Amino acid sequence: MLKIDLPALLAFALFAGLIFFYLIPVFENVMMDRKRHLIHEITSSAYSLLDYYHSRENSGELGREEAKERARAAISTIRYGDQRKDYFWITDMHPRMIVHPYRSDLNGKDLTNYRDSKGKTIFVEFVRAVSQSGESYVEYMWQ
């Protein structure tokens, strides 16, 4: 009986190990790469929107404060993702929240000590990542 069962159990264990230790991590990496690509493309569009309002300010068509307010309003309406639950917010390099579409209580606040649920000072990490390379991804937990 052992001669029959042992090879079957060994084959099952190897197959399960292949799934859990190789296929699932590869699948997760592919999905994260696709999400990063989507975010990069949508961020490029959002940047173009900001550039549009900046060019209107430079041409004299809009005053500085009006251009900033229109840009803030436009960015805060952008939604993307499968259920349109993903969004953009704007912080400065301090980090201070300029506009957050769902958490208006954060607008204008210093976020230097704001921590995610795992204790990471996420807005400081965002500033650090952007300062180093101009663009980057930061993994964090939100709510």
Pure H helices in the chain = 2-18, 24-58, 64-76, 122-133
Q: 6 pLDDT exceeds 90?
A: no
Enter the pTM of the model. 0.77
Residue at 17: amino acid letter:
G
Angstrom distance (rounded) from CA 105 to CA 61? 31
CATH 2.60.120.620 assigned to domain 89-143? The reply is: no
Nearest one of 74, 28, 45, 47 to 130, comparing CA atoms: 47
Mean pLDDT of the chain: 93
Task: Please give the distance of CA 65 from its chain centroid, rounded to a whole number.
Answer: 27
Band of the pLDDT at 30, cuts 50, 70, 90?
very high
pLDDT at 2 over 80: no
**Where in the chain are the domains?**
1-80, 89-143
Question: In this predicted structure, what is the pLDDT of residue 17?
Answer: 85
Pairwise CA distance, residues 65 & 102, whole Å: 22
pLDDT in tens, 96-129: 999 999 999 999 999 999 999 999 999 999 999 9
Residue with tokens 């590869």: 26
pLDDT of 4 > 80? The answer is: no
